[in-house]
Amino acid sequence: MNRAFSAALLMVSVLASLHHTFAQQFRLDTLAQSPGVALPVAMAFVPGQGGSFFFTEKNSGKVKLFADGAVREKPFLALSVATIGEQGLLGVALHPRYPDSPFVY
């Protein structure tokens, strides 16, 4: 019983220290509440760009870029989309060698 308790206590201590270590590396932001953003539903991170990502707005048909800590004012792309029910712009992907192959799907 003492051995099991000691092992559990050790595990809790290790997990608590890991949580403290990793929790300091991240920041939580809410894109959905940013001004000028409406119904973001999909995102694709830009490789090697330090947190930059493309994201879609479901009903507007816009693909926007988040870079340097802010949403770019001008959309990267705007498409005509149907918005009834579950329709809309629901996904985005980058070419595996983006930006050398600058294709956004």
Give the pLDDT of residue 33.
Answer: 73
Q: Is the pTM of this model over 0.85?
A: no
Alpha carbon distances (Å) from 11 to 18, 19, 75: 11, 12, 48
pLDDT tens per residue across span 32-58: 677 888 889 999 999 988 889 999 999
How far apart, in whole angstroms, are the C-alpha atoms of residue 59 and residue 62?
A: 8
Give the pLDDT of residue 69.
Answer: 84
